[in-house]
């Protein structure tokens, strides 16, 4: 159902974007399979944020990497990690670690532009459940492409 809601939102936004002057058109957050097929396409206006969320493959804790569209550039702003599980942790000089008030922590002010506005992801199993969070919607990539390599990109 979430996928259908996103489809409607994408369709409505596309219709609005077609009537808008070029400067007012949103960028598009797209997820492509290796064969080029698009499995998600979301309008992301200048200044808007979204997160990639998943369950850690060893501990099952929920992890988030959060991005923002800054003038058409995908920028990793912050990361939420409720635990110091395998592969997680703050790297000195890369943002600052602050408590989330619930035993976990945020790494704030990472502010790293993503090279070429894109990165590859091996989508996890349904237990890992890689999902995009945007504008109150949740879209599971694992439901559509578990075990596959995808490209996540911001296309201005």
Contact 116, 78 (CB under 8 A): no
Q: CB within 8 A of 56, min separation 6: which ones? A: 62, 63, 83, 85, 86, 87, 88, 128
Q: CB within 8 A of 19, min separation 6: which ones? A: none
pLDDT digits (tens, 9 = 90+) for 26-51: 899 999 999 999 999 999 999 999 99
pLDDT digits (tens, 9 = 90+) for 106-117: 999 999 999 999
Mean pLDDT of all residues in 85-104: 74
- Residue-level pLDDT at 59: 78
pLDDT: is 105 or 88 the higher one? Answer: 105
Shortest CA distance to 123 belongs to which of 60, 61, 57? 57
Contact 130, 124 (CB under 8 A): yes
- Residue-level pLDDT at 1: 38
CA 24 to chain centre: 22
- Residue-level pLDDT at 100: 86
Has this prediction a pTM greater than 0.85? no
- Residue-level pLDDT at 84: 65
On average, the pLDDT of the chain sits at 83
């Amino acid at each position: 159902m979430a996928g259908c809601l996103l489809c409607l939102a994408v369709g409505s936004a596309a219709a609005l974007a077609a009537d808008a002057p070029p400067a007012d058109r949103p960028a598009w957050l797209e997820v492509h399979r290796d064969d080029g097929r698009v499995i998600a396409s979301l309008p992301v206006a200048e200044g808007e944020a979204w997160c990639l969320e998943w369950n850690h493959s060893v501990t099952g804790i929920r992890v988030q990497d959060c991005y923002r569209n800054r003038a058409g550039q995908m920028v990793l702003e912050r990361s939420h990690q409720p635990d110091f599980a395998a592969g997680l942790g703050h790297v000195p000089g890369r943002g600052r670690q602050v408590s989330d008030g619930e035993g976990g922590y945020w790494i704030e002010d990472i502010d790293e532009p993503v090279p070429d506005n894109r990165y590859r992801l091996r989508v996890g199993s349904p237990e890992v459940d890689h999902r995009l969070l945007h504008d109150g919607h949740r879209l599971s990539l694992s439901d559509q492409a578990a075990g596959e390599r995808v490209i996540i990109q911001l296309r201005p």
